[in-house]
C-alpha cells in the first residue's frame, strides 16, 4: 500500500484535507435552492463510500509496504472493525447536525464554531491517545483557535441581533455537532496499526479503516437521516419518493460533495502515520478557515452585518492562521 515517509509530504496531504473538508459544503449550497439537505445527504454518503473503496483498491493495494486491502480485510479483528464502524456512526451524527447548521446559519458560522470546537476537542483527545508533537505548541495553537471560535460566535450573534428572522438554532446545532465531531477520528485511529510499515495481526490498514468507517456512516444514515426526513430542523417532512424525483444534477452534486470530503478523510488518515493523529486531524480541521472564506467572500453570508463585524472576522482569521501554524510547528 502507499505509505508517506516524509513529514513535509504528510503536511501537504493535510493541507489537501483542509481544502477538501472546507469546500465540500459548497455542493450543498449549490443545490439548496431546489434540493433539500436531507435528500442531498443520501448522495453525499454514497460519494464517501465510493471514494473509500476506490482508494482501497488502488493506493491501498499497490506497492510492497504495509498490507494490501484484500489481505488486510481477511485478517481484520472484529473489535477493530467495530471501532472503525463506531467512528463512522459518531461522525455521521455530527455531520448531519453540521449540515443542518449550514442550512440555517451558513458556512461562515457552522464551520468556525462547529469544526473549530471539533478541532480543539479532537487534538486533545488524539494527543492523549498518541502523544506525537510538542505539547506547548499544540496547546497555544488550540488556544488561539478557541479564541477564533468565540470571535466568530460573537460576530454571528451581532448579525442575528440586527437581522430579523435569523435564528440562533444554527449556532446551537454547530456546538453540538462540534462536540461529537471531536471524537470520531479517535475510533478510526485506534483501529489501525500505528506504524504503517509494520502491520499487526487483527489491526486495520488506514485504507481498510476508512472503508469500514464509510460503511458505519451508511448504516447509521438509514436511522439518522430517516429520522431527520420525518422530523426536519427546518421545513416540512420529506419522503423517500422525493429523493427519486431529484434531477441527475442534484444527485451528482451530492455524490461529488461526499467524494470531496472522503478524499480529505483518506489523505488525513494516510498522513497520520507520519504526522501523528493529533497533528493530522488538527491541520485538516483548518478547513474552518477555507469554509469561512467561502461563506464570507463568495456566498456573502455577512453582507448585512452591523458595522464592526468585519474587524471581528479579520481577527478570527488571524487567530486561526497563527493557531494552525503552531500546530504545524509542533512536529
What's the pLDDT tens digit per position in 254-310? Answer: 999 999 999 999 999 999 999 999 889 888 887 878 887 888 888 877 777 888 888
Does pLDDT of 166 surpass 60?
Answer: no
Q: Residue for cell digits 503552531?
A: 326
- Which is nearest to 23 in space by CA: 324, 292, 322, 328? 292
The 3-state DSSP class for residue 69 equals helix
Does pLDDT of 157 surpass 60?
Answer: yes
What span, in angstroms and rounded, lies between the C-alpha atoms of 174 and 119? 13
Query: What pLDDT score was predicted for residue 220?
Result: 98
Query: What pLDDT score was predicted for residue 164?
Result: 53
Minimum mean pLDDT among 10-14, 71-75, 282-286: which range? Answer: 282-286
Higher-confidence residue of 214 and 301: namely 214
What span, in angstroms and rounded, lies between the C-alpha atoms of 318 and 144? 9
Question: What's the mean pLDDT in 180-202?
Answer: 95
Per-residue pLDDT band for 167 (boundaries 50, 70, 90) equals low
Q: Per residue in 156-182, is it b (16+ CB within 10 Å) or e — as a string?
A: bebbbeeeeebeeebbebbebbbebbb
Question: Alpha helices, DSSP H only, in 130-205?
Answer: 135-162, 169-190
Strongest mean pLDDT among 19-33, 79-93, 107-121 = 79-93
Query: What pLDDT score was predicted for residue 59?
Result: 96
Question: What's the mean pLDDT in 29-35?
Answer: 88
The 3-state DSSP class for residue 192 equals strand
Q: Residue for cell digits 421545513?
A: 235
Inter-axis angle of helices 169-190 and 135-162, nearest 10: 160
Please tell me the number of Cα atoms within 13 Å of 82 on its side-chain side.
Answer: 3
Does pLDDT of 237 surpass 80?
Answer: yes
Residue 66, by phi and psi: left (phi above 0), alpha (psi -120 to 50) or beta? left
Does pLDDT of 212 surpass 80?
Answer: yes
Query: What pLDDT score was predicted for residue 219?
Result: 98
Does pLDDT of 162 surpass 80?
Answer: no
Quick check: pTM over 0.85? yes
Q: Is 211 exposed, middle or buried (0-12, 13-18, 19+ CB in 10 A)?
A: buried
What digits encode the pLDDT tens for the residues 33-57? 889 999 999 999 999 999 999 999 9
DSSP bridge pairs for 188: none
Please tell me the number of Cα atoms within 13 Å of 191 on its side-chain side.
Answer: 32
Secondary structure tally for the chain: helices H, strands E: 15, 0
What digits encode the pLDDT tens for the residues 95-153? 999 888 887 877 767 777 888 888 889 989 999 988 988 999 998 998 998 888 788 77
Does pLDDT of 165 surpass 70?
Answer: no
Amino acid at each position: 500500500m502507499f505509505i508517506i515517509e516524509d513529514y513535509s509530504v504528510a503536511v501537504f496531504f493535510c493541507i489537501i484535507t483542509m481544502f477538501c473538508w472546507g469546500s465540500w459544503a459548497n455542493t450543498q449550497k449549490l443545490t439548496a435552492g431546489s434540493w433539500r439537505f436531507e435528500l442531498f445527504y443520501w448522495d453525499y454518503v454514497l460519494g464517501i463510500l465510493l471514494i473509500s473503496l476506490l482508494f482501497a483498491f488502488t493506493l491501498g493495494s499497490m506497492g510492497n509496504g504495509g498490507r494490501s486491502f484484500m489481505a488486510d480485510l481477511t485478517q481484520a479483528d472484529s473489535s477493530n472493525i467495530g471501532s472503525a464502524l463506531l467512528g463512522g456512526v459518531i461522525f455521521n451524527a455530527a455531520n448531519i447536525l453540521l449540515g443542518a447548521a449550514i442550512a440555517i446559519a451558513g458556512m461562515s458560522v457552522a464551520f468556525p464554531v462547529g469544526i473549530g470546537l471539533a478541532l480543539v476537542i479532537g487534538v486533545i483527545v488524539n494527543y492523549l491517545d498518541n502523544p506525537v508533537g510538542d505539547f506547548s505548541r499544540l496547546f497555544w495553537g488550540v488556544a488561539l483557535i478557541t479564541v477564533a471560535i468565540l470571535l466568530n460566535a460573537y460576530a454571528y450573534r451581532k448579525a442575528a441581533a440586527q437581522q430579523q428572522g435569523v435564528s440562533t438554532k444554527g449556532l446551537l446545532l454547530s456546538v453540538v455537532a462540534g462536540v461529537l465531531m471531536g471524537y470520531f477520528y479517535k475510533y478510526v485511529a485506534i483501529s489501525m496499526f500505528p506504524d504503517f510499515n509494520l502491520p499487526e495481526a487483527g489491526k486495520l490498514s488506514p485504507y481498510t479503516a476508512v472503508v469500514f468507517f464509510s460503511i458505519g456512516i451508511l448504516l447509521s444514515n438509514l436511522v439518522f437521516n430517516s429520522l431527520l426526513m420525518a422530523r426536519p430542523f427546518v421545513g416540512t417532512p420529506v419522503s423517500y419518493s422525493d429523493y427519486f424525483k431529484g434531477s441527475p444534477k442534484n444527485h451528482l452534486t451530492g455524490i461529488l460533495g461526499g467524494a470531496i470530503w472522503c478524499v480529505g478523510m483518506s489523505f488525513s488518515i494516510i498522513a497520520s502515520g507520519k504526522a501523528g493523529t493529533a497533528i493530522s486531524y488538527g491541520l485538516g480541521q483548518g478547513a474552518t478557515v477555507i469554509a469561512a472564506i467561502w461563506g464570507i467572500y463568495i456566498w456573502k453570508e455577512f453582507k448585512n452585518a452591523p458595522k464592526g463585524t468585519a474587524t471581528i472576522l479579520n481577527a478570527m482569521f488571524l487567530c486561526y492562521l497563527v493557531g494552525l501554524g503552531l500546530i504545524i510547528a509542533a512536529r
